[in-house]
Structure 1
Amino acid sequence: TDLALDYGIYGGRAAEGYALSLAIPEDDVNYDDKADVAELNGLGVSQTFLCRAGGEMGLDPDFLPYMRLANCSGTDAFHLESLFRNEAWDHMRVPLSEESEAAVCKTMIEGCDAVLAGTESFRSEDRAVCREGLAGGHAPRRLLAALQREGERRALAGLRDAFAARQEALPTLEYYATWRLKSLSLIDEDGESTYSGNYDSSGIW
């Protein structure tokens, strides 16, 4: 039982997940502001998130906001100003801009690819061990380790596919500016202005 728990396995099945460690780079020009925002929301300048299988659906609810915080730069950095300090995390819960969300997707895809590539050399061996099981003469510890790694690979592959799909959908996502206007009831759900100005009910000045 202890061995199974150590490897995240119960009942012969791997717990399909991967512990992703993220960090705000120390050389980030907005490091202090980002650190403040993270701390205000119970997070640190480095944070580990357990990502379960299921693509984005398997993500910790703070994962995407943290990724957006870490990647926030350029014109989007206004979200980090002290004026918005208590609201910044709520801002991070929606895509800030197409450029910012593209950076998030790129970071995730490249990160998943790097980890998956690092395990490719012994993937076929792990699969053989999982397929043959104890009946194939494999030690329990070896089998459990192989099951765990296969579970991690499936979780990472699903996550990579989810962010690749998100990358393709970038032009259709709703970004902060639109979200903000809707929250202020300045535009409707179709993106049309709710401002009537000096028009009367007939639409004539």
Structure 2
Amino acid sequence: MREQTGLGKVARRQGAATLNPIMLARDGDSRLALYAAARDHLRARGYEQVSMRMFRAPHAPEQNGPSYCCQNDGRIAARRWPALRAALPAHIYLWLNAYDRRGPGYYSAEDLAWLDAIDPWFALNRRPVPSRGKACLAGELSLSVDGDGELARCHFIPERLGNLYTDDLADMLQERSCPRFKCDCYIGYAQRKDLPFQRVFGTGVLARIAPEQ
């Protein structure tokens, strides 16, 4: 269970090291029960559960290769990316996500040359620059909020600022620097004031949608 998000965040607020179904039920949190109901619904209809979040339909084509899913895909259909880039209008950004579990030498020099040509920010994605002490808009102009209104300055910094429904936002929003050594996810480092994303994407920064030229 991811420690900083979703049910893992609920568990942390309850003082548990990980998800505790008894605590969730005691406090009236229904997310675990809803997940179980959805899982059982799919299984009853013949879906195969591949992982916690991935289910394969009984009518899906025969699987002859690996099971692809978010964060574990590696390079899927990479040969199509240059053609896709060429087909898109110049102002539409094509984002490439660096493979999380790569080891040394995963990308060759030739790989990097054409990947960087497709995505001008790919270098920052695969090798995030140090963040500690850098000025950041998280907690100043943006906040992270979970389903019950609990607020943090950033998705990756668990410090609680207050609650959306009971506290005054004006008391929370202030300029802050980043306490993390490295921020390696776009939704975090896109808020950095010293990086180009706010300037390039403007109001479309989180979706990586640049304004039309």
By percentage of residues, which structure has more helix?
Answer: 1
Question: What TM-score do the two structures reach when normalised by structure 1?
Answer: 0.23
RCO higher in structure (CA 8 A, sep ≥6): 1
Question: What TM-score do the two structures reach when normalised by structure 2?
Answer: 0.22
